[in-house]
Structure 1
Amino acid sequence: MAKITAAEVNKLRKTTGAGMMDCKKALVEADGDFDTAIEILRKKGQKIAAKRADRESSEGAVIAKVNDDNKKGVIISLNCETDFVAKNDDFVKLAHDFAGMALNYDSKDAFLNADFNGMTVQEKLTEQTGVIGEKLEIGAFKTLEAPFVGSYIHAGNKIAVLTGLSKDVDGAEEVAKDVSMQAAAMNPVALNEEGVDQETIDKEIEIAKDQLREEGKPEEMLDKIAKGKLNRFFKDNTLVNQAFIKDNKQSVSDYVQTLGKDVSVVAFERVALEG
């Protein structure tokens, strides 16, 4: 039987992230063969992943990344089962590594099948399920492209936002971050009125009418008053029309136009973990 050294155990631990004892056992079982030991640890991860497949992975880390020229951004969530794991430094680092890599892909499937240090991202998730003992998966995968893209990650990595501006101008980074913070805090339903789906509009009008009936308003006035309430809903719940949280005397749209009258928010993406 091959003699297993501490250096070999440490090398396997650094490569896989598995615990020292798991690494030693794998090397012993593999008779000192490094690649076989990795395969043993992967199979252990597959077994644990299969056992935990029906578990809910509602905790995790949501990470936003933007490429070097600020033209494209991505948000991914690396999901796990418990907040304890979600706060682990190695877990958060893995989430950041995944997000940086995800910038090169336009779909979740392509990303999961991409190479990550000699294995696919999906295989890495399975391996780390074995290491950590919890179900790990990529939850959200959102991309955004615009003339300028900025981002914000809320403290604790539970919310991340991307904001796209119509122009790359001086001050765009600060403004895009401020708008991203706005979206993180206020959770708008859409960018503007045009982005609100008809089902939501119909629901809000019906709610308004029900309230007005309870107040005793005459039926013939309901449509007109309900439309006024709908406009208030748009002001409170669409990003560009919301009062800017750093200066509620102006809207988000007005704030963005401090960069120039022709500068606007063209899109945003928000991902939050509610676990």
Structure 2
Amino acid sequence: MIKKISAEKIKELRIKTGAGMMDCKKALEVSEGQVDLAIENLRKKGLASADKKSSRIATEGLIESYIHAGSRIGVLVELNCETDFVARQIKFQHLAKNIAMQLAACQSVEYISINDIPKEVVLKETDIESAKEDITNKTEIVKKQIVAGRINKRLKELSLMDQQFIKNTDISIEELVKQHIVLLGENIKIRRFQRFLLGEGLERKSNNFAKEVSEIIQKT
């Protein structure tokens, strides 16, 4: 017998996931009212659905900007979808704004995904990690395992899609985008971005600019 699900629980799940009312009701029925399990099931369903749309061409969209308080950090990001109709949707525009804010907050991010990182960058990072003194006396097998783990971590630091979403650290930016693919019914791609830091590249009297930027972001 299917357990009766209250409207309050359905509403709670909908707020947490953004999924439709019927999808939330079904997920709660399957999980016998367990919200955490229902969220997990909805995520799996959403990721599978989003993956099916990921090969579709996305040439519409918008260019979003974000200027952080104090006007010392700025970001431009191009977010693509399949139609102009979706590009005009508030949810799509909010996604673009959130991605721009994420890029302002994550100074280490240089690429959209790990697949975009050039081979020469990977090789350079591998050389750096392999030369570190703390693994000099390790066996080759252990050394390779340690280096591989560190490289994987480093590449994720450089990748936007692998970042935890600053407004909900339970999901990554990749999951955030896929949730919106399911929600809006179209493929969505982050095509490119550019970050601007005031005075970047100029000689400054203070050597604490990086610290200043970090402090500004933490106050967000």
Alignment TM-score, normalising by the size of structure 2: 0.62
Specify whether residues 28 and 78 from structure 1 end up closer, same or farther in structure 2 by C-alpha distance, changes over 3 A only.
farther
1:76–1:138 CA contact under 8 A, matched in 2? yes
Aligned twin of 2:60: 59
List alignment gaps of at least 5 residues for structure 1. Answer: 149-275
1:41–1:127 CA contact under 8 A, matched in 2? no
Aligned twin of 2:17: 16
Greater than 4 Å deviation, 4+ residue runs: none
Aligned twin of 1:29: 30
The superposition leaves residues 107-161 of structure 1 with CA deviations (integer Å, 9 ceiling, x where unpaired) of: 234322111211100011122222222112212221122339xxxxxxxxxxxxx
Q: 1:17 is matched by which residue type in structure 2?
A: G
Q: 2:177 is matched by which residue type in structure 1?
A: L
Aligned twin of 2:196: 144
Aligned twin of 1:97: 98
List alignment gaps of at least 5 residues for structure 2. Answer: 114-158, 201-220
Alignment TM-score, normalising by the size of structure 1: 0.50
Specify whether residues 52 and 66 from structure 1 end up closer, same or farther in structure 2 by C-alpha distance, changes over 3 A only.
same
**Superposed CA RMSD:** 2.5
Pair 1:130-2:182 in alignment: yes
Aligned twin of 1:121: 173
Q: Cα offset for 1:55?
A: 0.3
Distance 1:36 1:61 in 2: 35
2:27–2:42 CA contact under 8 A, matched in 1? yes
Larger radius of gyration: 1
The superposition leaves residues 62-109 of structure 1 with CA deviations (integer Å, 9 ceiling, x where unpaired) of: 211122232221112232212221111122122212211220124234
Identify the match of residue 160 of structure 2 among 111, 125, 128. Answer: 111
Identity of matched residues, %: 36
Distance 1:78 1:28 in 2: 36
Q: Cα offset for 1:40?
A: 1.6
Distance 2:37 2:189 in 1: 25
Q: 1:140 is matched by which residue type in structure 2?
A: R
Distance 1:8 1:83 in 2: 35
Of structures 1 and 2, the one with the larger relative CO (CA 8 A, separation 6+) is: 2
Q: Cα offset for 1:60?
A: 1.9
Distance 1:84 1:24 in 2: 28
1:27–1:37 CA contact under 8 A, matched in 2? yes
Distance 1:18 1:128 in 2: 10
- Point out the structure with the larger strand share: 1
**Could you say what secondary structure the match of 1:79 adopts?**
strand
Aligned twin of 2:216: none
Matched length: 152
Distance 1:67 1:82 in 2: 29
Specify whether residues 61 and 9 from structure 1 end up closer, same or farther in structure 2 by C-alpha distance, changes over 3 A only.
farther
1:76–1:142 CA contact under 8 A, matched in 2? yes
Distance 1:61 1:4 in 2: 40
- Point out the structure with the larger helix share: 2
Aligned twin of 2:130: none
Q: Cα offset for 1:2?
A: 2.9
Pair 1:69-2:70 in alignment: yes
Aligned twin of 1:2: 3
**Could you say what secondary structure the match of 1:119 adopts?**
strand
Pair 1:82-2:68 in alignment: no
Trace 1:241-256 onto structure 2 (pairs within 5 A): none
